[in-house]
């Protein structure tokens, strides 16, 4: 599809519709919009299959609202992550239809539309404290159209709670495992089922949990093949990757 | 004891006490063979879709040969990773058909059989020195039936070498990015195409590359969504996960 | 005692015992003023080409104001970095002409005077959240007389936003690249143009960004030659070094 | 001088100035033998319940042989850990009855004498490569008189191999869990049975296993209570502590 | 579904299909109650010998109260650790008999019932600042029925304060050593008496104490055998393990 | 019990069973007073040459006041370090003569009495922000009777400020070098004069100063011999050690 | 200049000299040559001002020789870094004119041609052991045409050795400071002269020098402005950057 | 140029322009001899009280021999540390009187001359494996004229071995404590006697001893005041500093 863009630019130049300088400028790839403090990438939905996502931390409420407004003008849907209630208020004023998901700390401009033909993405968490990250992953996957099943508080210290869910795991399209502390859940899940497992270490724990480093290292060294890892507390990244995998062969 | 379990499952199936699906489900979780120093998991191919893989480091040549022989007796195919030439010699004596892939440090008992209906798994490497890890990933994916395209030496310091491959990247099923040093290739690739990207940091570099830690951290913090990471130099894990993803909707 | 040294140098010059060059050389290495809690180095502007810069963190508002007042008495211009609004208020009382640059957290006693004959120093940032550090670098360079071009929010996940700026990069005298997270922007920029690149890692990110360590390590391992790195969030240091480089052959 | 202390204690006991209990108490804290390069602690068997153990690394073969000879003269039994074959040869020459346990890298002067009335100490290992450490733990426990059961290669990636051993685990006196990589076995075992679990991280793995640090951190953060950890590869320490626990209420 | 499992086990026992031992064994591994945000493991007291312990950090006061209420309904006793006064207030409202132990930051639903036939668990602390962790260990051990002796402020810089306690140490069943800074107390205690020593590093100290890492490393490298370590500040884990050890041969 | 020990020692001296020297020797190692939460070591002044020092962090104001009151009753002088103003208020109420040194965060019960026959201890600091730590070192040394010279803000970026002090450095008894950031001052001073140098890294700096770790590492690797290092921000430890050294041959 | 390349491609398309597909292919930036295991970037000399540099570590002697031969065919000059004698032998066979610089571990195809109009690049090293890295920097700068002055063994422990060189430092165009251990030389040099300083930490030292990490951290935290840092032991990078800076305004 | 400086100083002294003290002061800071690869600092013995010490690691045998020969020509005595037998051979050829101390890895040109009027420097080691470092410290102190007492193998796991030495410790001038593993010996010694303690961490240990980092951290956090620390395995530095302290008031 991108090829078409380039082709049309060259064709316009050959026919004289645009001059050399314009052709060169356009060829420097794809369009974005300059806000001064940010360059909104309107064609990301074309290129990446979903609208630009606004990482709200380190931006003022006004910047967040302004960026989401510009994205909405082009794409309809938009997503804000790591959003405080205060930043949502600023967005809400600009875009009354916006919704806030408190536990996931996310803003969505429209409710998710689920494609029921897709397999389920199953999100597991080891403990109750891992839920904010798990919810960010789950909601991201839903916002991209995937059916999501949540299975929380199934840490390996009570293995039977996990084993009781085995039939569901075996029917999933992708598994997201969210765990802090020693992060052993990823290895156990990866050993039980032959599915892609995306492991998300969380900063839950104390002392030598080192704000998630221990869980991260544990997951990277999983003795089960088929496990890959994202950054600590990066529920969004896990949800996005799970969606890319889950929609393979369906919307590809 | 394990034998009894299998027997009873099969018997229950024969008498109609359980149906085929239940029998399969039960069989998925049990049998292994005790070698004294190892417990060979013969039903992994049933449960995980590929035969047990022997991680050869830390095992004697004799142990490696013995384990591969036992797997072969049940599964036909078997795979040895991190295998030195010396360990291959021991295997070769026991299983004359075995092949050694020197750069990938892998032993295969049979040549890969590629399923041409699958999309390509594209393996990119940043530099020439990353090739052993890239080859381990590529050969693993091939051994599991996937067509694989190798694109090596396309580090971001010469960006045009990578951009020239864009059309191929856009047709891939999954991308594996293998890079050491600062590992920036994963972010750039992840930003260019909307495909699942599995990043493999390598221990290539010196000084503050810290044997791959810098590349690992860089990949975990990728500003591009859709990237997940495996352990340093873990070409096998990347190949295995890529295969699980690539065969979704086809052999699932 | 210091006064005596200066006096004797000047006297020696007056009597012809030493020539001008010697006098200057001697003067370069001596005088400072004792405030009790600080030793203000009045001849730094002679020795280093710019007045003493006050690092405001860890000093009381009164100390900051007092030091800046003493510098001003000798040099006219003075610069305060990492200054809170509260510390600026104390300075403002003592020196009404002082200006506060909020985003850069800097105090200047006089507006910058730009030498338009110099090449541009181009400051690039990967994201919106990197702006405070980028502004500190930019304003420092301007205060030292350099024309500065700001190009913000051009992270490698949207590569086309960067490529669109290529002609500007190629005309720059020095490039300052400010980035957090995985810091890949430094490598990509360093590979695109043959200019000195000063990379500034920022503490932007979460989890394994480790408050800028990942960006720092990534930049130190850049596969592009021509990149050097300063401390995390050290916009001032980058601006100062860029100025030293940019004015080579002009004011040297 | 030490001799005088002992003499005076014994004399005081003989004359009735102190009773037997006091004499024993005093004797517990004093005598050792000066070899120049080492101070052999002959009364450790009195104080600690087992003869001095010689950590052979960093000592010459001659030093090892000389120390073991001196211990033997007082205690009969003695134990050498981290002993190379070369060091054993030196001991063998001095003490012909000495035995070498190659996998455990240990020297024993006498075969272990097992107290069959004690509960079993169960030593589990995650993989074949963990065996040297597991054997050091097992042999240490045996040398101190405990019955030991070895269950090797039961890593969590094939959970059924572990679950098959549950009845044995539930009858054990103490469990020693030896694992490298992500060390998840300790958490899973600790969650399954209400027994003291001593976790031994091993340096098995590569990349981010960091020579056992990941397993160590994982075990320290175990979500299962009842788990404590010893140094990486410290099979001896685990065996010694397990013996102290296992003999509680029996030989205490 | 879980209810069905329990029912079928009990039914099978009633009809004589399985004997008592089998019924107990089966019951040990299954039931839990789904609260939505948590899966309360009611049979942990059966399986692990004590009711489920609620780690209060990262849970809301309402979640804590709700979970404790559900546990109480099955078990009578329950324990909350890392509980703030605010969380206790929520529990107090739901369960008026609950008690708060401020220094230990623990909630108990019933006063501990001590089994006076057991040996003492001795809890030593190096300094006054280690007391919160020491108290958590002591109270946990008491809540599980063990007599506990506290010996605080006996750091090795004043060795005589420790040596004065030697007779008590030698009569203990298990020793818990709680220390921050350089954690040397564990080595000294482990060398003095032949008892199981559980070392708890604390985050007490500054600079290179690194919030307990130095004490942890020191304890892991103890030159005295018989020492094992739990996570930094993990008084609960130490108390739980000490209880498991202390009750060996008594309630096993 | 401790009282009995002291009594018996004194009695033995009175009856001539032991001579004065023996009595002193025995007294050096025993008495302390039990406060419940602390064991005050009253004979430390005998054994260590100065009264017990109270590290106030992690103690309540009441505990601090109570401990200082008990020390005062035996020793007259006492010292509190890391004391907040609030803790001083509690002490002040109990001991009206107590003084607070705000910058050093120290409490002294009596003004220091300087022994003018001793050489000067010279305390150097690299910057203004290092002053709290430098003052803690200086005041500690003064409280122990040493004349102290303060030379602040002589960091190596303005080397002439340091060189101007060379004659003073060469007459000092001991040098204490206090520096954060890169801590280079210790190496430079250690190379200039043949005196014992005690280096104190401070947590001054940002980014990769890592709260003093960089300064610590730099000082440990000093290319100048004669430099030893204490913990980050440990002004007290430096002052105490400097005093021990400075009084050698005088009060020894 | 690159703009010309693009313009000529577009012009060729418009005039029909090349078809659409060719234009697109060409536009995907600049030319390189595919060797299978490497993609030689022939236009780097155009884009970056010097021929491709071959990093020899991790490549076979044959690969090194083959790559250098291909570069030579286009560029005349080529440079190999981190080259063992063995790899040089392979190059020598293919290119008889090649030279080996043993201490710098570098291969040059032609002797450097110095542009005497340029200012000197001064390379300082702290000790004799830093010479291999210093030589790599110096030779790189020479190969790119810069006059280079070497000043070795001027560590800060003997400050007078450095101060004796001050007049030379003040005339330099750029300074490269090479130091291991505590790396203090960079700060001292940066404080003495107002020149761009490129600091190169080396892996010289032991213990807590951590293979150069301490020197690196020290240099990043330099209290002198105007210092930037490259990777540990990265003499090449420093030489390359120094050349870019030194030739500003001359060959720009 | 250096020669001129010396000449002018001496001339000024001869003519009475400066007095003896001034001449000495001036001479202290200047002369050194240029060897090309090293700058031998001949006046260090004047400035620092001992001849230049050659750190042999990273120098060739020829360089070592050449440097020692040049030092000998000026000073008589010279010292080589970290010297392999091979390097000693080269020195021996050049200077037949040279002696090699194998365990300490040191070369001395002359036997030490002990000043018996000085107090003893006591060197303690925790274990037999710490002896090479302890010997380096002891021999360094002896070479500088101090009487040295060695007390080895007195680790805290057998506390009575240390306590037996208490009378000797109390008469020492300075204590050097050499220990690996958990390094607790420094804290215990520092608490027992009021003497300056120089702690030397060694790289003895395994796993989490991290080549001496654990011992280092433990020593830096010593709860006993009066302890300072040098780099890991830095016996020379400890001996040098101990000598500076021990000779205070005697040779000062």
Per-residue pLDDT reduced to its tens digit, F194-229? 899 999 999 999 999 999 999 999 999 998 889 999
Residue pair B36/B7 in contact by the 8 Å Cβ criterion: no
Q: Retrieve residue E64's tokens.
A: 């804590």
Q: Does G207 touch chain F (CB under 8 A)?
A: yes
How many Cβ contacts (< 8 angstroms) between chains A and G?
A: 26
Residue pair A173/A118 in contact by the 8 Å Cβ criterion: yes
Q: How far, in Å, CA of E45 to CA of D194, rounded?
A: 10
Q: Is C54 helix (H, G, I), strand (E, B) or coil?
A: strand
Over range H106-120, report the average pLDDT: 93
Which is it for the CA torsion D90, D92, D94, D98, positive or negative? positive
D42 pLDDT exceeds 90? no
Domain end, chosen from C48, C73, C108, is at C108
Q: Which residues of F touch H237 (CB under 8 A)?
A: 225-228
Residue B113 domain-assigned? no
Ranges B49-53, C26-30, E153-157, G235-239: which has the least confidence: C26-30
- Angle at which helices B131-143 and B235-246 pack, to 10 degrees? 40
Contact at CB, G27 and A23, closer than 8 angstroms: no
Touching partners of C (3+ C-beta pairs < 8 Å)? A, B, F, G
List the single residue in A48, A228, A245 with the smallest CB-CB distance to B230. A228
Q: Which residue of E has its CA nearest to A163?
A: E30
Over range A233-243, report the average pLDDT: 96
Beta strands in H67-120 (DSSP E): 79-81, 99-101, 106-108
Distance from CA of C238 to the nearest CA of G (A): 8
How many Cβ contacts (< 8 angstroms) between chains B and C?
A: 115
F2 pLDDT exceeds 50? no
Residue G116 domain-assigned? no
Residue A163 domain-assigned? yes
pLDDT of residue B19: 67
Residue pair G237/B157 in contact by the 8 Å Cβ criterion: no
Residue A227 domain-assigned? yes
Identify the residue among C245, C246, C251, C252 best suited for mutation to test binding to G, counting G beta carbons within 10 A and taking the highest. Answer: C245
Q: Does G129 touch chain H (CB under 8 A)?
A: yes
Q: Does D154 touch chain B (CB under 8 A)?
A: yes
Distance from CA of G66 to the nearest CA of H (A): 33
Percent of chain G with pLDDT over 70: 82
Over range G206-227, report the average pLDDT: 92
**Tokens 């007092």 map to which residue?**
C66
Residue C116 domain-assigned? no
Contact at CB, G207 and H39, closer than 8 angstroms: no
G75 pLDDT exceeds 80? no
Q: Which residues of H touch E165 (CB under 8 A)?
A: none
Identify the residue among G130, G165, G218 best suited for mutation to test binding to F, counting F beta carbons within 10 A and taking the highest. Answer: G218
Q: Which residues of A touch C152 (CB under 8 A)?
A: 37-39
Beta pairing partners, E107: E80, E100
H43: pLDDT confidence band, cut at 50, 70 and 90? low
Domain end, chosen from E53, E86, E108, is at E108
Are C and B neighbours with ≥3 CB pairs closer than 8 A?
A: yes
Q: Pick from F165, F218, F215: which is nearest to F192 by CA?
A: F165
pLDDT of residue C106: 96
Q: Which residues of H touch D240 (CB under 8 A)?
A: none
Distance from CA of F132 to the nearest CA of G (A): 19
Q: How far, in Å, CA of A29 to CA of G158, rounded?
A: 57
Contact at CB, G153 and H212, closer than 8 angstroms: no
Distance from CA of F153 to the nearest CA of H (A): 23
Please compute, for residue E98, the number of CA atoms within 13 A of its CA located in the half-sphere on the CB side: 24
Ranges B238-242, F131-135, G236-240, H50-54: which has the least confidence: H50-54
Are D235 and D183 contained in the same domain?
Answer: yes
- Angle at which helices E2-14 and E20-27 pack, to 10 degrees? 170
Percent of chain D with pLDDT over 90: 56
Contact at CB, G3 and C167, closer than 8 angstroms: yes
DSSP secondary structure code for residue C203 in this structure:
S
Q: How far, in Å, CA of A107 to CA of A87, rounded?
A: 9
Contact at CB, C241 and G249, closer than 8 angstroms: no
Q: Does B132 touch chain A (CB under 8 A)?
A: no
Q: Which residue of C has its CA nearest to A24?
A: C164
Residue pair C66/C73 in contact by the 8 Å Cβ criterion: no
Which structural domain, as residue segments, surrounds residue G164?
121-247
A40 pLDDT exceeds 70? no
Touching partners of B (3+ C-beta pairs < 8 Å)? A, C, D, G
Contact at CB, C1 and F164, closer than 8 angstroms: yes
pLDDT of residue C201: 97
Question: Taking all residues of chain E, what is their mean pLDDT, rounded to a whole number?
Answer: 85
Q: What angle do CA B196, B198, B200 make, to 5 degrees?
A: 165
Scored b (16 or more CB within 10 A) or e, G202-237 reads: bbbbbbbbbbbbbbbbbbbbbbbbbbbbbbbbbbbb
Question: Taking all residues of chain G, what is their mean pLDDT, rounded to a whole number?
Answer: 85
Please compute, for residue D72, the number of CA atoms within 13 A of its CA located in the half-sphere on the CB side: 19
Touching partners of E (3+ C-beta pairs < 8 Å)? A, D, F, H
Identify the residue among G128, G178, G187, G220 best suited for mutation to test binding to F, counting F beta carbons within 10 A and taking the highest. Answer: G187
Are G and B neighbours with ≥3 CB pairs closer than 8 A?
A: yes
Residue pair H182/E218 in contact by the 8 Å Cβ criterion: yes
Are C153 and C197 contained in the same domain?
Answer: yes
Residue F4 burial by Cβ neighbours in a 10 Å radius (0-12, 13-18, 19+): exposed
Q: Does D63 touch chain H (CB under 8 A)?
A: yes
Q: How far, in Å, CA of E156 to CA of E145, rounded?
A: 30
pLDDT of residue E40: 65
Percent of chain F with pLDDT over 90: 56
Are E162 and E221 contained in the same domain?
Answer: yes
Q: Does A234 touch chain C (CB under 8 A)?
A: yes
Contact at CB, H216 and F220, closer than 8 angstroms: yes
Residue D114 domain-assigned? no
Are β-strands H174-179 and H148-151 bridged in parallel, bridged antiparallel, or unpaired?
unpaired
Residue A28 domain-assigned? yes
Are C127 and C239 contained in the same domain?
Answer: yes
Are H100 and H53 contained in the same domain?
Answer: yes
> Which tens digits make up the pLDDT trace of G114-143?
999 999 999 999 988 999 999 999 999 999
Please compute, for residue G154, the number of CA atoms within 13 A of its CA located in the half-sphere on the CB side: 25
Beta pairing partners, F125: F178
Quote the number of domains for chain B.
2
Long-range contacts of the stretch C54-59 (C-beta < 8 A, 24+) = C54/C78, C54/C79, C54/C80, C54/C81, C54/C107, C55/C81, C55/C82, C56/C80, C56/C81, C56/C82, C56/C83, C56/C84, C56/C87, C56/C107, C57/C82, C57/F129, C57/F206, C58/F127, C58/F128, C58/F129, C58/F204, C59/C87, C59/F128, C59/F129
Identify the residue among B207, B211, B213, B215 best suited for mutation to test binding to G, counting G beta carbons within 10 A and taking the highest. Answer: B207
Q: Does F207 touch chain C (CB under 8 A)?
A: yes
Are β-strands H121-125 and H148-151 bridged in parallel, bridged antiparallel, or unpaired?
parallel
Q: How far, in Å, CA of A48 to CA of E58, rounded?
A: 35
Are E24 and E101 contained in the same domain?
Answer: yes
Are B127 and B243 contained in the same domain?
Answer: yes
G252 pLDDT exceeds 70? no
Q: Does F232 touch chain E (CB under 8 A)?
A: yes
pLDDT of residue A122: 97
Are E82 and E145 contained in the same domain?
Answer: no
Are F130 and F218 contained in the same domain?
Answer: yes
Are B127 and B151 contained in the same domain?
Answer: yes
List the single residue in C32, C57, C203 with the smallest CB-CB distance to F161. C32
Residues in chain B: 252
Q: Which residues of E touch H221 (CB under 8 A)?
A: 181-182, 205, 207-209, 214-215
G5 pLDDT exceeds 60? no
List the single residue in F39, F82, F212 with the smallest CB-CB distance to E161. F39
List the single residue in H181, H184, H213 with the smallest CB-CB distance to E182. H184
**CATH code at position F128:** 3.40.50.1970
DSSP secondary structure code for residue D110 in this structure:
S
Are D82 and D128 contained in the same domain?
Answer: no
pLDDT of residue D72: 84
Q: Which residue of D has its CA nearest to E175?
A: D245
Residue B34 domain-assigned? yes
Touching partners of H (3+ C-beta pairs < 8 Å)? D, E, F, G
C-beta atoms surrounding F74 within 10 Å: 17
Domain end, chosen from H108, H139, H171, is at H108
Identify the residue among D131, D133, D153, D181 best suited for mutation to test binding to B, counting B beta carbons within 10 A and taking the highest. Answer: D153
Q: How far, in Å, CA of E230 to CA of E209, rounded?
A: 17
Most confident of E179-183, F113-117, F205-209, H196-200: H196-200
Over range B14-38, report the average pLDDT: 61
Are H and D neighbours with ≥3 CB pairs closer than 8 A?
A: yes
B3 pLDDT exceeds 50? no
pLDDT of residue C192: 87
List the single residue in H170, H241, H250 with the smallest CB-CB distance to F196. H241
Are C101 and C145 contained in the same domain?
Answer: no
Query: Roughly how many angstroms between the first and final C-alpha of chain H, as a whole number?
Result: 32
Q: Which residues of H touch E221 (CB under 8 A)?
A: 181-182, 205, 207-209, 214-215
Q: Which of residues 23-62 of G touch F (CB under 8 A)?
A: none
Contact at CB, C210 and B217, closer than 8 angstroms: yes
Q: Which residues of G touch A20 (CB under 8 A)?
A: 7, 10-11
Over range G198-216, report the average pLDDT: 94
Q: How far, in Å, CA of D157 to CA of C90, rounded?
A: 64
């Amino acid at each position: 599809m991108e090829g078409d863009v380039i082709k049309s630019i060259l064709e316009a130049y050959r026919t004289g519709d645009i001059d050399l300088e314009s052709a060169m400028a356009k060829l420097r790839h794809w369009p974005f919009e300059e806000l001064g403090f940010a360059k909104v990438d309107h064609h990301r939905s074309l290129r990446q299959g979903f609208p630009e996502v606004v990482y709200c931390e380190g931006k003022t409420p006004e910047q967040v609202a302004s960026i989401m407004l510009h994205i909405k003008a082009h794409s309809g849907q938009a997503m804000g992550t790591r959003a405080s209630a205060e930043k949502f208020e600023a967005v809400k004023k600009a875009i009354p239809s916006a919704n806030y998901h408190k536990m996931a700390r996310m803003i969505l401009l429209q409710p998710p539309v689920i494609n029921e033909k897709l397999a389920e993405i199953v999100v597991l968490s080891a403990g109750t404290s891992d839920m904010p990250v798990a919810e960010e992953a789950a909601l991201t996957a839903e916002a991209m159209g995937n059916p999501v099943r949540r299975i929380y508080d199934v840490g390996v210290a009570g293995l039977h709670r996990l084993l009781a869910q085995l039939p569901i795991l075996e029917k999933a399209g992708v598994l997201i495992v969210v765990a802090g502390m020693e992060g052993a859940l990823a290895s156990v899940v990866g050993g039980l089922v032959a599915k892609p497992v995306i492991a998300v270490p969380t900063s839950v724990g104390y002392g030598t949990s080192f704000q998630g480093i221990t869980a991260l290292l544990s997951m990277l060294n999983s003795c089960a093949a088929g496990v890959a890892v994202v950054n600590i507390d990066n529920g969004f990244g896990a949800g996005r990757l799970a969606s890319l995998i889950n929609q393979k062969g369906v919307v590809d």
